[in-house]
Amino acid sequence: MGTDLAVVIATDSGCVIQRDAGVGYVVSHRQVPEAQRRVATLPCAYATCRDWERSGPGDGAGLAS
């Protein structure tokens, strides 16, 4: 698993997408920073942010600490 994270985007709604070298992307949210979701592609990362904007990042859906 990669360890070098580089921020790709941080949205006004609180979603943060980071590139994990060699692994994919890590999506987190400023409201629940300990909850992260690893996804393979950038479109998946954006979709995760969109889902969190609809339901809220703290609902537990798809989150892994």
Per-residue pLDDT at 1: 47
Please write the tens of the pLDDT for every residue from 10-55.
Answer: 888 889 999 988 789 999 988 887 888 999 999 999 999 998 888 7
Per-residue pLDDT at 63: 45
Per-residue pLDDT at 57: 63
Tokens of 32: 């629940």
